Amino acid sequence: MGLFVASLEAHLTAEDVVNLEACMDCKRCGDACAWYLGTGEEKLHPTYKTNFVRDIYRRYMTLEGKIAGPLGLIPTPTADDLREHMASFWHCTACGRCTLACPAGLSTRSLVRMARAAYTDSGLSQENATLNSIIKNLETVNHSFGLTIPHVLVRYSLFLCHQDIELPVDIQGAEILFVCPSAANTRIPDYATKVMELLNAANVDYTVSSRIAETGTEADHIVVHHELARKILEDWENEAERLGVKQVMVAECGCDTRSLFFEAQEILGRPFKFPVVLFDAVLLEAIEKGGLPVEKTDKTITLHDPCHSTRLAGQGDLMRELLHACTTNFIEMTPNREYNYCCNGGAGGLRLPENAPVRRQVSVFKANQIKNTQADYVTTPCVVCMLTLDDVCKTYNLGKQAEGERAAIMMFEVVYEAVRNALERVGQLDRLRTPMQLRGRNEDFLRVHSSSGKVVQFLQSSLAPQILTWLDNDEVVKRYFKAHPDAVAKLDEFKAVHTRWAEQGEKIELCPNIQRRVPDAVLI
């Protein structure tokens, strides 16, 4: 209990004191919480969590409690009580919707985050296998799912090389540093190649880093490990300084949006050193200025507002402007914007497998929202939201997508379809393939700074056998091969590169059999 209380004392703010002291226990916060409304379970009511934190605060952190507690005049929570209540703090997505229903505007979300940090600082959260794996993976390989940078880059490169797409790596003096969230480079890297294609087509001056594996979303929002989150933010800053970039780009991730615009200053104790730009904002600007052509899709699409992007970061208008630029049949769900129901997957809702039965049950509210629009697809600018909505659509049999398609899609996939249609019509699909920073470069430069150069460095190393075996068994790779059967040959090429190097000492500099277009011929 001592470590838990010490953490609360270390992170308690004046706002948190108000949140603890001003609650009237009217329980109206429960009127906005899908987890409570969908089950009627008191342990899932927001006040079950906040009242427990309040009991600890009053007993151990106030003068009255330190006197009255030993006399038995007020409750004295114990370590056993901490364990009993722990799961309730992760039966919650910290979405902030409950605050909208609170007459005093108190933040349950803030207290949940503070309690999660205390569970982590006290070591109790590590008793949960998933939470423990997130912490250990971040401590050992700087990736919450346990992927190393070679794993991330080689798998991406497999998909990119198959599609004749290049990715800029470690480009000194690029305008923007782009870092991918762990959920994206773990769960949807086969879809996320479209992100690189859009940046290429929009002529964005960007680079990725070979030293940063992910953004730290799960450190900040699931385990709320302030030290790990601080280290990852500082790694971003150090890489941005090393590469001499001017801005850092946030991908389509609700938690990253909230972190970089708000949480970073709290974690670092100072402003983040670099301006932050949103991926979707960059695309919208390119479309509005005529640099990125679009031919609007006529698919019927509705939008799910990620809580951390809209309610907690104010980006709802940006999403709608981008959708209106790329679609002809966008339908709002009701309620929407800051009043939208949570997908129930963020900040641990999806990540913890034990949550699945309840998460699916309480997602009936989100399912009804989608169903009532009669849209064929639901889109969202957040990886975790999309993955959760995909599960919701399958659970409740929603959407009228074509065979083999998902009913839940990323917003970048909507933009990609509109852009690809426009480029194909004018014969400029090559714009999708080559990044601005790699156009007109010689092979020596490509060997060091392109994905097709980086991948052969890993394939011609002792790391290759383990990575190639992993690729053979990886479910994402199998999914990609199912959609692109000819890509199996590309993996065979990767294996051949390693075999020739290992057995014959033959060394190459760039990924073989990529149809490298003449970069200077790319039309802008």
pLDDT per position as a tens digit, 468-477: 999 999 999 9
Helix residue spans in 212-363 (DSSP H): 217-221, 226-243, 254-258, 264-268, 279-288, 316-326, 356-362
pLDDT (mean) for 38-43: 96
Of the candidates 389, 201, 168, 385, the one whose C-alpha atom is nearest the C-alpha of residue 287 is 201
pLDDT digits over 86-129, tens only? 999 999 999 999 999 999 999 999 999 999 999 999 999 999 99
Listed by start position, the domains of the chain span 1-125, 301-425
Q: Where is average pLDDT lowest: 58-67, 295-304, 392-401?
A: 392-401
Q: How far apart are CA 336 and CA 373, in angstroms?
A: 12
Q: 132 or 515, which is more confident?
A: 132
Beta bridge partners of 330: 301
Between 121 and 508, name the one with better pLDDT.
121
Span 281-289, mean pLDDT? 97
Place of tokens 């940090």: 117
Predicted pLDDT of residue 524? 35
Predicted pLDDT at 401: 66
Those residues with Cβ within 8 angstroms of residue 393's Cβ, 6 or more apart along the chain or in another chain: 367, 370, 378, 399, 406, 407, 408
Mean per-residue pLDDT, 286-297: 96
Inter-axis angle of helices 383-395 and 364-373, nearest 10: 80
Residue 515: band (very low, low, confident or very high) from pLDDT cuts 50, 70, 90: low
pLDDT average, residue stretch 440-452: 89
pLDDT of residue 510: 72
The C-alpha atoms of residue 179 and residue 156 are separated, in whole angstroms, by: 13
Q: Which amino acid is at 304?
A: H
- Which CATH code for domain 1-125? 1.10.1060
Are 26 and 106 in contact, with CB atoms under 8 Å apart?
no
Average pLDDT over residues 290-314: 96
Is the pLDDT at 512 greater than 80? The verdict is no
**Assigned architecture for domain 301-425:** 3-Layer(aba) Sandwich (3.40)
| Cross-strand bridge partners of residue 177 | 207, 248
* CB 364, CB 370: distance < 8 Å: no
Give the whole-number percent of the chain exceeding pLDDT 90.
91
Under the banding of pLDDT at 50, 70 and 90, the label for residue 443 is confident
- Measured CA to CA, the distance from residue 441 to residue 437 in angstroms comes to 8
- Whole-angstrom Cα distance, residue 417 to residue 414? 5
CB 154 within 8 A of CB 493: no
Q: Tell me which DSSP letter residue 90 carries.
A: T
